Amino acid sequence: MPFFSGENMTGGYGGADIINSCTINVNRGEIVTILGPNGAGKSTAMKAMLGLLNLKSGKISIDGKDISKLTPQDRVKEGISFVPQSRNVFTGLSVLENLEMGAFLREERIEEIIEEIFALFPILKEKKAQIVGELSGGQRQQVALGRALMTKPSVLMLDEPTAGVSPIVMDELFDHILKVKKTNVAIIMVEQNAKQALSIADRGYVLVTGENKFSGTGKELLNDPEVRRSFLGG
C-alpha cells in the first residue's frame, strides 16, 4: 500500500470536472512527478490531495488512514506540507522569521529544526537576517522549501518549484529536492520542465484532460517514444 495516495479522483471547482478517475500515489523517500500539457489537471490533482477542492468521488489516504473528509488544515496536521507556485514566502520578513512562521503547528522548541533546515540549505543560514524580498528567485524558493519543512512533514507537495528560474538555478533546486528526499520525505512535484523532473523522479504520471495517460519510472517515461514525442519535445 502506498504511503500517500489519491485514488480515482474525480472533481473540479464547481463546473466541469477537471480530473477524471485520476490516481496519484507516492511512498516515503520517493519523488513522484506529475506531468502533462497546460490544463491537464496537474495542479488540480495535487490540490485535491491537499483538500483544496471537493471531490465528487475518490479517496485520499496517508499511512493507511482515510483523510478524504479532513480539511486542508487537518491534513497538514497529518504530515502534509504544500509549497504553492507563487506567494510562497513572506517577502517583508527575514529568512529566519519565514522559517519560524512555518513552525506554527509545532509546540516544542524549534531551534533544532531550524539548524536541520540550515544544514539542508546552507545559504539560508548565511542570509538568515536578510529580508526575503531582497533574495534571488532561487534563494526565495529555498526559503519556501525550508519553511514547508519546518513542520517535519512526511509528505511534501511542490507546485512548479522551478517556475521562472534560470537553468542553473533549476539544477540547484532539484539538487536540494534530492537532499530532502534523502530525509525519507515523500515528495510529489508538479513540474513543467519535464525532462529534468523525470531525470530526478523515481516515478512519474502524465495526465491528459485530467486522466492518467502514462505512468512508470522516471527512466521508463523518458525512454517511452510516445511520451518523448508528445511531451518531451522529441
Q: CB–CB of 195/222 below 8 Å? A: yes
10 found inside a domain? no
C-alpha cell at 3: 504511503
How many folded domains does the chain comprise? 1
16 found inside a domain? no
CATH number at residue 145: 3.40.50.300
6 found inside a domain? no
Distance CA 85, CA 190 (A): 9
211 found inside a domain? yes
C-alpha cell at 223: 525512454
Residue (of 144, 142, 151, 156) closest to 185 by Cα position: 156
Residue 203 belongs to what domain range?
27-49+69-231
34 found inside a domain? yes
The single-letter code of the amino acid at 16 is A
Beta-strand runs (E) in 12-54: 19-26, 31-35
Reported pTM: 0.92
Distance CA 104, CA 113 (A): 13
pLDDT by position in tens, the chain (length 234): 899 999 999 998 888 899 999 999 999 999 999 999 888 999 999 999 999 988 999 999 999 999 999 999 999 999 999 998 878 889 899 999 999 888 876 667 788 889 999 998 999 999 999 999 999 888 998 999 999 999 899 999 999 988 888 888 889 889 999 999 999 999 999 998 889 999 999 999 999 999 999 999 999 999 999 999 888 765
224 found inside a domain? yes
91 found inside a domain? yes
